[in-house]
Amino acid sequence: MKKVLITGGAGFIGVNAAKRFLGAGHSVTVLDNLSRKGTDINAKFLEDNFKGKYTFVKADIRTDNDVLKKLAAENDVILHLAAQVAVTTSVTDPRTDFDINALGTFNVLEAARAAKIKPAVIYASTNKVYGGLEHMPAVEDGNRVKFKDARSGVDEECPMDFHSPYGCSKGAADQYVRDYARLYDMKTVVFRQSCIFGPHQLGVEDQGWVAWFLIAAMFKRPVTVYGTGKQVRDLLYVDDLVDLYEKAVENIDAVSGQVFNAGGGMKNSLSLLEFLGMIDTDLHMPMQYTFSDWRPGDQPIFVSDNAKAKKLLGWEPKTDVRKGIVNLVQWLTENKSMLEQFYKR
Ligand SMILES: NC(=O)c1ccc[n+]([C@@H]2O[C@H](COP(=O)([O-])OP(=O)(O)OC[C@H]3O[C@@H](n4cnc5c(N)ncnc54)[C@H](O)[C@@H]3O)[C@@H](O)[C@H]2O)c1
């Protein structure tokens, strides 16, 4: 049994991770400042299902250093998920984005460093640290784009090229987490995650587009497609990501100091137009959409090469993207009235 602190534990990935770690018999503390809209719903889910079995701490990683230090000293692992997560918000308010993502992560690391027995730190970074991938040109291929050189994905050797304040703040944090393993003999792991999707994802236009599109389809609302719609993303089902976190916890000595890309890979990649086609044809939820300009930092194609995670952790995504989308639709359907209230707020 491990003692696991999950920062951002009332968020989408956090609630899925808490559910898994609690189910596996670990001791879980969820830390969140509940700033994200909908975290009250996730917090209620945890309370309804795991009452008395976990600890919830309302705290802010920007400022509550004493709380962080106390919790770091009490736990074996910190799964650090708390973040400002929208690229668009980072552009309009780069200081808040920096404070949460860069300074907040620094605070988490310093709290861990101060502990007598230092907890391992697992950090949720992002594929956005690779920037626009201009050196990997994309060409159109029907309803999608593909890498011109036909590569199957982007590996960890790809140069970092932070683009957008979100890319910069997450990238800075990513490098701090990595360096603390080298400098301070701490156990840390960085996962550069692609698009994650699944139950408990209260997607908004700026973040969580898979759920956002499906919810729009459910309520017959139009969506905006930024760019051509041919941009390609590899989608990773949240359960598979949590598998990866679990494997990192179990094998922390072997993977400490490492950085891993983690996404659905080429076989779980979709362009926006392909996804819209799937919603229409396979899910029978035709939807209306209009096009608008590209958003800053949008990559024409990102597909993760997961070979390193497979080699060192024996991990690869298990959930086919179509199956994952059906699971998410099922969760959305089961929670339709909650979602109706939520999107009216
Ligand atoms: N969802 C994805 O597709 C994706 C992709 C790549 C990386 N990530 C990273 O994974 C992590 C989790 O993402 P998510 O999708 O669950 O996002 P989320 O917004 O659902 O969860 C983030 C949580 O952090 C909390 N939080 C924000 N600021 C805080 C602060 N100052 N102090 C304490 N808590 C704070 C929010 O209330 C929220 O509950 C983030 O670090 C994100 O950058 C997510």
pLDDT of res. 22: 97
Percent residues over pLDDT 70 in the chain: 100
pLDDT over threshold 90, residue 296: no
Instruction: Give the pLDDT band (50/70/90) at residue 299.
Output: confident
Q: Ligand 1, residues 13, 33, 78, 236: which to mutate, most atoms within 8 A of Cβ?
A: 13
Structure tokens at 173: 């944090």
Q: Ligand 1, residues 19, 29, 36: which to mutate, most atoms within 8 A of Cβ?
A: 36
Instruction: Give the pLDDT band (50/70/90) at residue 206.
Output: confident
What rounded mean pLDDT belongs to the chain?
Answer: 96
Measured in Å, residue 4 CA sits from the centre of ligand 1 at 17
Q: Is 226 in the active site? A: no
Global pTM?
0.97
Q: Average pLDDT of 85-108?
A: 97
Report the pocket of ligand 1 as residue ranges, CB < 6 Å: 8, 10-14, 32-36, 39, 60-62, 81-85, 100, 104, 124, 126, 170, 193, 195-196
Q: Average pLDDT of 284-299?
A: 88
Of 54, 123, 130, 166, which residue is the catalytic one? 166
Q: Which residue owns the Cα nearest ligand 1 atom 38? A: 11
- b (16+ CB within 10 A) / e for 135-161: ebebeeeebbbbbeeeeebbebebebe
Phi-psi region of 4 (alpha: psi -120 to 50; beta: other; left: phi over 0): beta
- The Cα 142–Cα 93 span in angstroms is 37
- b (16+ CB within 10 A) / e for 75-107: bbbbbbbbbbbbbbbbeeebebbbbbbbbbbbb
Residue 207: φ, ψ to 5°: -160, 135
Residue 27, strand partner residues: 3
Structure tokens at 267: 């076989």
Q: Which residue owns the Cα nearest ligand 1 atom 30? A: 60
Task: Give me the torsion for CA of 31, 90, 37, 172, rounded to 10°.
Answer: -20
Q: Ligand 1, residues 45, 71, 85: which to mutate, most atoms within 8 A of Cβ?
A: 85
Instruction: Give the pLDDT band (50/70/90) at residue 16.
Output: very high
Q: How far is CA 317 from the centre of its chain?
A: 15
pLDDT tens digits, one per residue of 22-34? 999 999 999 999 9
Structure tokens at 46: 């945890």
Q: Which residue has the higher pLDDT, 83 or 163?
A: 83
Q: Average pLDDT of 224-243?
A: 97
Percent residues over pLDDT 90 in the chain: 94
Amino acid identity at 251: N
pLDDT of res. 207: 87
Q: 2 vs 46, 109, 157, 164, 236, CA distance in Å?
A: 19, 19, 32, 36, 26
CA-CA-CA-CA torsion sign (227, 228, 229, 233): negative
pLDDT over threshold 90, residue 343: no
pLDDT over threshold 80, residue 297: no
Measured in Å, residue 43 CA sits from the centre of ligand 1 at 14
Measured in Å, residue 45 CA sits from the centre of ligand 1 at 17
pLDDT over threshold 80, residue 130: yes
Helices (H) and strands (E) in the chain, counts: 14, 15
Measured in Å, residue 192 CA sits from the centre of ligand 1 at 13
pLDDT tens digits, one per residue of 308-317? 999 999 999 9
Phi-psi region of 31 (alpha: psi -120 to 50; beta: other; left: phi over 0): beta
Estimate the crossing angle of helix 321-334 against helix 336-344, to 10 degrees.
80
Instruction: Give the pLDDT band (50/70/90) at residue 227.
Output: very high
- Which contiguous run of DSSP H or E holds residue 197? strand 195-197
Q: 214 vs 60, 166, 286, 308, 322, CA distance in Å?
A: 31, 25, 10, 32, 13
- The Cα 177–Cα 184 span in angstroms is 11
Q: Which residue has the higher pLDDT, 345 or 169?
A: 169
CA-CA-CA-CA torsion sign (175, 180, 183, 185): negative
Q: DSSP letter string over 140-178?
A: EETTEEEETT----B-TTSPP---SHHHHHHHHHHHHHH
pLDDT of res. 345: 78
Measured in Å, residue 275 CA sits from the centre of ligand 1 at 24
Set out the domains of the chain in order of their start, with CATH numbers.
3-344 (3.40.50.720)
Q: 336 vs 202, 269, 331, CA distance in Å?
A: 12, 27, 8
Q: Average pLDDT of 172-190?
A: 97
pLDDT of res. 204: 87
C-alpha angle 120-13-144 in degrees, rounded to nearest 5: 115
Q: Which residue owns the Cα nearest ligand 1 atom 11? A: 81
pLDDT of res. 224: 94
Instruction: Give the pLDDT band (50/70/90) at residue 223.
Output: very high
Instruction: Give the pLDDT band (50/70/90) at residue 339.
Output: very high
pLDDT of res. 322: 97
pLDDT of res. 137: 94
pLDDT of res. 295: 82
pLDDT of res. 344: 84
Structure tokens at 343: 């999107």
